[in-house]
Chain A
Amino acid sequence: MLFTIAWRNVWRQKVRSLVIIGAMVVGLWGLIFAIGFMSGFMDSYLSNALKYEYSHIQVHHPDFKQDQEIKYNIKQGIKKVAEIVTDTNVKAATHRTIVNAMIGSAKASSGVKVLGVDSLLEKEVTSFDQLITDGTYFKSVKRNPLLIGEKLAEKLKVKLRSKIVLTFQNLEGEIVSEAFRVAGIFNAKSPILNETVVMVNFRDINKNLGDKNLVSEIAVYLNDVDKIEESQEAISSILPDYRVEKWDKLAPELSLIVQQSKTNVFILVTIFMTALIFGIINTMLMAVLERIKELGMLMAIGMNRIKVFTMIIIETIFLGLVACPVGLFLGHLTISYFNGNGFDLSDYSQGLEKFGYETVIYPIISGNHYFMLSMGIFITTIVASIYPALKAIKLKPAEALRKI
């Protein structure tokens, strides 16, 4: 009967209960949306960075990171890529030649990083072909095609089919120059890629380096990121003398942003739960204080303090049990809507694009988040009910019965 009394007590002061339930519903709803929005924001940023820039795993010569010179290359790299793709968790893998060069047009020059890629493999790994905003992905120019970012093209004042000269050192340390033509202009999500990277066919650059099979980097894109450790191990066994790194090591800033996002969610949830605790304490304390006589009577006729304590706890949990599903449902509906239609932030597009963010966010929230929030509400209601419940059991029946 404790459950019956507790449940009916919840609805004894309908307005008061509905106010706190409403606060919980709206808070939970907002929290789900905020978490979904942040997750969607981070997810799109992270997936863009992985898809178009880093991929999941990269392999380099152990000294390459310190000094990005072509002498620090991967022996038989092209052959190793073929071995790597035999792993079922590997969606695609490609090899790249990386050369630091000077790029010069008729009007200006600049320092750039030249990526020599296998155009077919590269688009499987980085989907770079989808970033072309003008021209084609290596097709419109027959000899020495080059892809350049919008910002760099602007800086060099070049357009499609413009001639560009790359100057770099070969393996012998000699300065070599080669002319290329702009086949495509891309707009990558990363400002660094847009301003400091050009892409050419690996054969076109390697022929000038003194080793047509030179590979500076192997990039691997996985099917299931959760199995990244296993894949890393498998690749390490294929290339035991080289540095095999996951994305979070390759781009610690990305890892930091992801971690920061998780911390933000934690702070948000903590603020909400703390506010909720005080709201519930207020409601339940009022519920206890206006029932002093009744609680005194219950203890007088033989309800022990554990049962009185439990009754108050159950009553509070019921508040949460009513609010939680409604809040979760509304939150889920909102997330589902915006996940399908997107949340348009194009008014802030300039600022967002500058930092590599999407202008349309698709909020997402995992089942784990729903579970954690439900547990959070459950624990919060229990914590919040302790003080009113203690207040109730400290009553002395004789005194409580005298209250008007």
Chain B
Amino acid sequence: MKVIEAKNITKVYNADKVPVNALRGVSFSVDKGEFTAIVGPSGCGKSTLLNIVGGLDSPSEGEITIDGKDLSNLKENKLIDFRLNKIGFVFQSYNLIPVLTAKENISLIMELQGLSKKARDDRAMELLKAVGLEGKEHKKPSELSGGQQQRVAVARALASEPSFILADEPTANLDSVSTNNLLDIMAEMNREKGTTFIFSTHDQRVINKARRVIKLDDGLIVSDDNMVLNP
């Protein structure tokens, strides 16, 4: 079952002045349960592609479909709702809200979805346990290590029960131990719960864990090694 389908995506920045072709006709699809890494050198278009897949940016040309829904037809408010319910985000620099505790950071997204307090609390605790942060629920981001913050970010991304999680260089600011912990958690969730993960990364440790690696260069897919579908 296809979760993401991208057809001939192009993205041109600064089209009126000095055009920069960030993506030049990228087509790919992602099935449910994939653990995919999008790799490539800086400036190859990884983040642009992730932004377009995540509905944060729109393509100059081409079509992006998530769960069968064409994102280009969605208006801003619908797109925000769509992101809320269908996509989980993990950012490079964690991007937790510093004034909220770990539990509140996770609960926020469920509150935006309109879940009851009890449901939010229960799920937040369950997710904190799943990412190994039981007992840290009342800690604010500043009281957690980078690895712990990123695990809270993963829990937050999972809180809305999205179709897939987009992680933009999630291990870039982490040490090896934290990176391995985080990758283990995400791999376990992918294995046991079938959560779809798509990473953009430079990190070889992430690439090694990925079951599919899409390599971008200069705005084009130069290789797509699907180790599950094409062993």
> Which residues of A does B touch, CB under 8 Å?
1, 4-5, 8-9, 12, 293-294, 297-305, 307, 396-398, 401
Residues of chain B within 8 A (CB-CB) of A301 are: 83-84, 89, 109, 112, 156
Q: A398 contacts B57, CB within 8 Å?
A: yes
Q: Is the CB of A302 within 8 A of B91?
A: no
Known A398-B51, A398-B56: A304·B81 in contact at CB below 8 Å: yes
Report the separation of the CA atoms of residues A401 and B89 in the bound assembly, to the nearest whole angstrom. Answer: 12
Q: Decide: A297 and B99 in contact? CB cutoff 8 A.
A: no
Residues of A within 8 A of B56 (CB): 300, 396-398, 401
Give B218 Cβ to nearest chain A Cβ, in Å: 20
Residues of A within 8 A of B104 (CB): 1, 4
Q: Which residues of B contact A1 (CB under 8 A)?
A: 100, 104, 107-108, 111
| A12 B99 Cβ-Cβ under 8 A | yes
| A300 and B97 contact, CB distance less than 8 A | no
Residue numbers in A under 8 Å from B93 (CB-CB): 293
For residue B222, CB closer than 8 A to chain A, the reply is no
Cβ contact within 8 Å between B109 and A5: no
> Known: A294-B95, A304-B80. Contact between A5 and B54, CB under 8 A?
no
Contacts of B84 in A (CB 8 A): 301-303
In the complex, A75→B26 CA distance in Å? 106
Q: Does B77 have its Cβ within 8 Å of any Cβ on chain A?
A: yes
Complexed CA–CA distance, A294 and B95 (Å): 6
Is B85 positioned at the interface, with any CB of A under 8 Å from its CB?
yes
Bound form: Cα–Cα A299–B51 in Å: 13
> What are the residues of chain A within 8 A of B98 when measuring CB–CB?
12, 294
Q: Judging by beta carbons under 8 Å apart, are A303 and B80 in contact?
A: yes
Complex-state Cα separation, A293 to B89, whole angstroms: 14
**Top 8 A-B pairs ranked by shortest CB distance?**
A302-B84, A8-B99, A398-B56, A297-B95, A398-B57, A398-B51, A304-B80, A397-B56
- In the complex, how many angstroms separate the beta carbon of A5 from the nearest chain B beta carbon? 6
- Sample of 11 more A-B contacts, CB < 8 Å, known A1-B104, A304-B80: A1-B108, A5-B97, A293-B93, A300-B83, A301-B89, A302-B83, A302-B113, A303-B112, A396-B57, A397-B56, A398-B51
A140 to chain B, nearest CB (A): 80
Q: B100 to A302, Cβ gap below 8 A? A: no
Does B195 reach chain A (CB closer than 8 Å)?
Answer: no
Across-interface contacts of B196 in A (CB, < 8 A): none
What sequence of 0s and 1s flags, for each residue 73-111 of chain B, a beta carbon within 8 Å of any chain A beta carbon? 000110011011100010101010111100010011101
List, in ascending order, chain A residues with CB within 8 A of B83's CB.
300-302
Among residues 33 to 65 in chain B, which have CB atoms less than 8 Å away from a CB atom of chain A?
A: 51, 54, 56-57
**Does the CB pair A297–B80 fall under 8 Å?**
no
What distance in Å separates the Cβ of A20 from its nearest Cβ neighbour in chain B?
Answer: 18
Q: How far is the CB of A296 from chain B (nearest CB, A)?
A: 8
B97 with A401: CB separation less than 8 A: no
CB pair A294–B109 under 8 Å, yes or no, is no
Give the complex CA separation of A309 and B57 in angstroms: 21
Q: 9 A–B contact pairs at CB < 8 A?
A: A1-B104, A1-B111, A8-B100, A294-B98, A300-B56, A301-B109, A304-B77, A398-B56, A401-B56
Instruction: Note all chain B residues with C-beta closer than 8 A to A5.
Output: 97, 99-100, 108
B22 shortest CB reach to chain A, Å: 12
The answer to whether A302 touches B109 (Cβ under 8 A) is yes
Residue in A4, A12, A396, A401 whose beta carbon sits within 8 Å of that of B95 in the complex:
A401
With A4-B100, A8-B100 already in contact, the answer to whether A300 and B108 are too (CB < 8 A) is no
Q: How far is the CA of A397 from the CA of B51 in the complex (A)?
A: 9
Chain B residues near A299 (CB, 8 Å)? 80
- Answer yes or no: B160 CB below 8 A from chain A CBs: yes
Give the docked Cα–Cα distance between A4 and B105 (Å): 12
**A302 lies within 8 A of B85 (CB):** yes
A302 to B76, CA, bound (A): 11
Does the CB pair B97–A294 fall under 8 Å? yes
**B111 contacts across to A, CB distance below 8 A:** 1
Write out the residue numbers on chain A whose beta carbons fall within 8 Å of the beta carbon of B80: 299, 302-305
Contact flags (1/0) for B201-231 with A, using CB distance below 8 Å?
0000000000000000000000000000000
Q: Kindly report which residue of chain A lies nearest to residue B111, judged by CB atoms.
A: A1
Chain B nearest CB: distance from A399 CB in Å? 9
Complex CA distance for A305 and B99, rounded to whole angstroms: 20
Please state if B54 and A300 are interface contacts (CB–CB under 8 Å). yes
Taking CB atoms, residues of chain B closer than 8 Å to A305 are 76-77, 80
Q: B13 to chain A: closest CB distance in Å?
A: 11
Q: A1-B108, A4-B104 are in contact. Are A302 and B160 (CB under 8 A)?
A: yes
Partner of A297, one of B76, B81, B91, B113: B91
Within the complex, the shortest CB–CB distance from A143 to chain B, in Å, comes to 88
- Which residues of chain A are within 8 angstroms of B57 by Cβ–Cβ distance? 396, 398
Closest residue to B47 on the A side, CB-wise? A402
Interface residues of B in 1-54 (CB under 8 A from A): 51, 54
Q: Is the CB of A302 within 8 A of B95?
A: no
How many angstroms between the C-alpha atoms of A298 and B108 in the bound complex?
10
Set B95, B109, B156: member contacting A293, Cβ < 8 A = B95
